[in-house]
Amino acid sequence: MSSSTATVLPQGAGYGVVVGVGFFFAFLMMGITYIQNRYTRFSTKSSEEFNTASRSVKPGLIASGIVSAWTWAATLLQSSTVAYEYGVAGPFWYAAGATVQILMFSILACKVKINAPRCHTYLEIIYARYGKTAHLVFMFFAFVTNILVGSQLLLGGSAVVTALTGMNVYAAIFLIPLGVCAYVILGGLRATFLCDYSHTLILMVIILYFMFNAYATSPLIGSPSEMYDLLKEAAIKRPVAGNTGGSYMTLKSNYALIFGVIQLCSGSGTVFLDQAYWQRAIASRPTTAVKAYIIGGLAWFAIPFGFSTTLGLAAVALIDNPRFPTYPNPPSSEDITAGLASAYAATALLGQSGAVALLIVLFMAVTSCASAELIAVASLLTFDVYKTYIKPDASGKRLILVSHICICLFGMTMAIFACIWNAIGIGLGWLFLVMGLLIGGAVFPAAFAITWAGQSKAGAIAGCISGLVAGLIAWITTAYRYFGEVTVASTGEEYSTLAGNLAAIITGLIVTVVVSLIKPQNFDWSITRAINARSLEALADEGHVNAAETDGNTGAPGDMPTTIDGEEKEKSEAGTNTPPNEDLPTVQNEDREMQEDADIDEHPKKLRRTFFVACIAAFVLTFIMDFLIPIPMFLSHYVFSKGFFTAWIVISFIWVFVSAGISVILPLVETAGFFKSFVGEVRNGSARKRSIAASTTS
């Protein structure tokens, strides 16, 4: 990688952002955790709170968490790569191809609330429904997903940090997760939502900064009209293969369409098999999970679309400008595969300020997604490995300790894998295209496990394994057939990865359906509804949820129903799980909401309408985004006029503002009541302290 051409910042800036900002958030988290424990019902010392945020998070904050978990380094870098390579069709297919899965997940989120309202992880559902063998098979796919996502985050993030600052790439890979591990350990899942929120806020501000600069103020571009003219010139000098007239301004782009299909397949795996998204559904209130996924998906669309329609296209437009870092040469294909198109564009447009802004936005994307991955894997290891197979009667305290250890272990694991990819010459682009074919086989079996009573154990296992085998065979044979060799280059080509991704996901679907239909299971959902039920009964009997001490008994898959062990019983008898702050208005509001949620959990029929809404919204929006808009424009070979291109850019601005409204403003509106009570409580607390101090001194 040509770090010399893009290095516009000192190494200190790299270390400052990676270590300094990471630890700033760790300290912020200490403050937030103190406030949470002091003024709310929810204690971070409870493993139920640590791993599920007590299933009480409001939709705006969940949407913000979805946006930030689904915003990878690749969302900014790879989307800019495809914009650079295919023009406007690249950002469109990047965004449309990966929004669908979040919209579709709203259906699974609703089903989780109906069919397994008290689970901690989706693997608990697999265990309760299919037993140990299937649990182990799905666990394999779950961990492969988390390792691939976690390591590609660090791979992409470190490549750009290194290119912009000259920082050692291995130091970046290991230091990026350090601060994240610290703040996740301090605050648990709710903490990651709060950090997600602040990261998303910064992300939106910086994306808008780049957009306003490129399309309104930059002397190099400064308007959609000038961008249009520059892209027209670029198409003459460097026409895009497979696009109408070689133009950058058309959705008739063969390779962008292929990329879109790969994105659809690969994104399905990286959402449906990643505990991070199940965890957000689990953390939601039952009535609002669907809303959170629908608005979260729509909000996320704007991020790759707005960012890469700006920086990816600016990279194409400015190649021949002397301020372009590689001028007078175009960037090498290795640099583009490593995700440097946006770095070059940011530097050309804004010099050092652009590089700093990109460094920060990328760091925000990497850390907020890494925090989601860390807590997700920690939950799987804690509940599905430790509690199920090692210590079924583990106490709540022990589970939290295990979660903390697992967070550190997975932080190390993703860094080690990122180092391996780097050392053997695998770039972000390759990994991005290949991920889906490795995990795609398990997508439909996982989705059916919570939605289709007829899927059998044999069908679920056969679907996963046959999908993996078919994906690998299609990938390797296509690479060999088309390119005459099996190398990193040939296996990273669009045709090879398209074949692998499609084969994996379609085979998984067909095999699981056919095998299940031969002998359907007719599953009784009351079994998955019973997951962890005993522990909540225990909590209810004892009166409270602020119970670090009782949720050791929240029931791993293997030990339903659970019992209260000695240590826990002592504490509960001693009344230590009664929260000290139960008379505060903030806590009383939370109690009321929890009562409402418990009522829905007991009467899931109330969620039927929500399920219907999820299906309609997910399918209609998917149809519009992935068929109604792009396919007529593809088939008609339409090349954007200047007016149409301007309208396209205006829509991208509006969408980013709406997205900021959903993920930044909505959480504030939802928590306004809490903050009002909270300020009153802090004031009353201070006044009480002052009067106690006055009475003791007089």
Q: Is 72 in the site for ligand URE (CB under 6 A)?
A: yes
Is the CB of residue 64 less than 8 Å from the CB of residue 200?
yes
Assign 284 to helix, strand or coil.
Answer: strand
Alpha-carbon span 200 to 664, nearest angstrom = 7
Beta bridge partners of 284: 57
The reply to whether 456 sits near ligand URE by the rule CB under 6 A is no
Could you tell me the smallest distance in angstroms from the CB atom of residue 263 to ligand URE?
Answer: 7
**Rounded distance between C-alpha atoms, residue 497 and residue 514, angstroms:** 25
Residue 127 binding ligand URE, by CB under 6 A: no
Query: Of 87 and 267, which has the nearer Cβ to ligand URE?
Result: 267
- When asked if residue 92 is in the footprint of ligand URE (CB under 6 A), the reply is no
Decide: is 293 part of the binding site for ligand URE (CB under 6 A).
no
Work out the number of other CB atoms within 10 angstroms of the CB of residue 454: 14
Q: At what angle do helices 169-212 and 59-70 cross, to 10 degrees?
A: 120
Residues 367-406 that bind ligand URE (CB under 6 A): none
Q: Answer whether 103's CB lies under 8 Å from 300's CB.
A: no
Cβ atoms of residues 185 and 404 within 8 Å: yes
Q: Which is nearer to ligand URE, 74 or 112 (CB)?
A: 74
Q: How far is CA 680 from the centre of its chain?
A: 35
State the Cα–Cα distance between residues 210 and 670, nearest whole angstrom: 29
Cβ-based nearer residue to ligand URE, 268 or 455: 268
Q: Compare residues 72 and 272 and give the one whose CB is closer to ligand URE.
A: 72
Minimum CB distance to ligand URE smaller for 70 or for 210: 70
Could you please report the per-residue DSSP string of 97-148?
HHHHHHHHHHHHHHHHHHH-TT-SSHHHHHHHHH-HHHHHHHHHHHHHHHHH
Task: Find the Cα–Cα–Cα–Cα dihedral 24, 665, 212, 245, rounded to 10°.
Answer: 110
**Residue 74 Cβ vs ligand URE, minimum distance, rounded to whole Å:** 5
CB of 437 to ligand URE, least distance (A): 15
Q: Which is nearer to ligand URE, 230 or 299 (CB)?
A: 299
- What is the distance of C-alpha 446 from the center of its chain? 18
Which range in 67-75, 421-429, 548-556, 591-599 contacts ligand URE by CB under 6 A?
67-75
Using CB under 6 A as the binding rule, whether residue 117 contacts ligand URE is answered as: no
Residue 650: CB minimum distance to ligand URE, A: 24
Provide, rounded to whole angstroms, the least separation between the CB of residue 81 and ligand URE: 12
Binding of residue 286 to ligand URE (CB under 6 A): no
Nearer to ligand URE, 263 or 512 (CB): 263
* 532 near ligand URE, judged by CB under 6 A: no
Stretch that binds ligand URE, among 66-74, 226-234, 281-289, 527-535 (CB under 6 A): 66-74
H helices of 629-671, in order, are 630-635, 642-660, 666-670
Amino acid at 433: L
Is there binding between residue 145 and ligand URE (CB under 6 A)?
Answer: no
Stretch that binds ligand URE, among 68-76, 208-216, 244-252, 634-642 (CB under 6 A): 68-76
475 binds ligand URE (CB under 6 A): no
- Please state, in angstroms and rounded to a whole number, the distance separating the CA atoms of residues 113 and 401: 28
**686 C-beta neighbours (distance < 10 Å), count:** 10
Side chain identity at residue 351, one-letter code: G
Number of shown-chain residues binding ligand URE (CB under 6 A): 6
Q: Quote the least distance from Cβ 75 to ligand URE, whole Å.
A: 4
Nearest distance in Å: CB 370, ligand URE: 13
In the chain, helix, strand, coil percent, each to 5? Answer: 80, 0, 20
> Considering only 72-80, 289-297, 403-411, 597-605, which stretch makes contact with ligand URE by CB under 6 A?
72-80
Is 74 or 377 the residue whose CB approaches ligand URE more closely?
74
Residue 411 contacts residue 376 (beta carbons within 8 Å): no
In whole angstroms, give the CA distance from residue 328 to residue 606. 64
CA-based radius of gyration for the chain: 25
Smallest distance from ligand URE to CB 676, Å: 36
CA distance 286 to 74: 31
Dihedral pair phi/psi, residue 7, rounded to 5°: -75, 105
User: CB–CB of 350/359 below 8 Å?
Assistant: no
We find the least distance from the C-beta atom of residue 435 to ligand URE, in angstroms, to be: 9
466 touches ligand URE by CB under 6 A: no
User: Under the criterion CB under 6 A, does residue 305 sit at the interface with ligand URE?
Assistant: no
The residue range among 20-28, 71-79, 318-326, 681-689 that interacts with ligand URE, by the rule CB under 6 A, is: 71-79
Give the C-alpha separation, 457 to 512, whole Å.
Answer: 9
**Minimum distance, C-beta of residue 100 to ligand URE, in the bound complex (Å):** 11
CB of 510 to ligand URE, least distance (A): 25
Query: Which residue in this structure is represented by tokens 């599905």?
Result: 384
- Based on the shown chain and the rule CB under 6 A, indicate whether residue 148 belongs to the binding site for ligand URE: no
Query: Could you give the string, one character per residue 569-608, with x where binding to ligand URE holds by CB under 6 A and - elsewhere?
Result: ----------------------------------------
Q: Considering the rule CB under 6 A, would residue 154 count as an interface residue with ligand URE? A: no
**319 contacts ligand URE (rule: CB under 6 A):** no
Q: In the complex, what is the shortest distance from the CB of residue 411 to ligand URE, in angstroms, rounded to a whole number?
A: 20
Q: CA-CA distance, 627 to 221, in Å (whole number)?
A: 32
Nearer to ligand URE, 267 or 339 (CB): 267
Least CB distance from residue 657 to ligand URE, whole Å? 21
Element (H, E) at 472: helix 457-483
Q: How far is the CB of 267 from ligand URE (least distance, A)?
A: 5
75 contributes a contact to ligand URE by CB under 6 A: yes
Closer residue to ligand URE (CB): 74 or 617:
74
Q: Residue 93 or 678: which CB sits closer to ligand URE?
A: 93
98 binds ligand URE (CB under 6 A): yes
Residue 122 touching ligand URE (CB under 6 A): no
The helix-helix angle for 428-439 and 457-483 (nearest 10°) equals: 140
Q: Can you tell me which of 59, 267, 286, 441 binds ligand URE, judged by CB under 6 A?
A: 267
Query: Is the Cβ–Cβ distance between 457 and 438 less than 8 Å?
Result: no
194/196 Cα distance (integer angstroms): 5
- Render 152-198 in DSSP notation, one character per residue: HHHHHHHHHHHHHH---HHHHHHHHHHHHHHHHHHHHHHHHHHHHHH
Whose tokens are 């396919």? That residue is 631
Candidates 509, 590, 589, 508; CA nearest to 545 is: 590
CB-wise, 29 or 149, nearer to ligand URE? 149
- State the minimum distance, in angstroms, from the CB of residue 18 to ligand URE: 21
- Least distance in angstroms from the C-beta of 626 to ligand URE: 15
427 binds ligand URE (CB under 6 A): no
Q: Which of 39, 70, 92, 174 binds ligand URE (CB under 6 A)?
A: 70
CB atoms within 10 A of CB 136: 15
Considering the complex, what minimum distance in angstroms separates the CB of residue 684 from ligand URE? 44
**Which has the closest alpha carbon to 446: 125, 132, 179, 681?**
125
The answer to the question of residue 74 lying near ligand URE (CB under 6 A) is: yes
Closest chain position to ligand URE (CB): 75
Interacting residue ranges for ligand URE, rule: CB under 6 A: 70, 72, 74-75, 98, 267
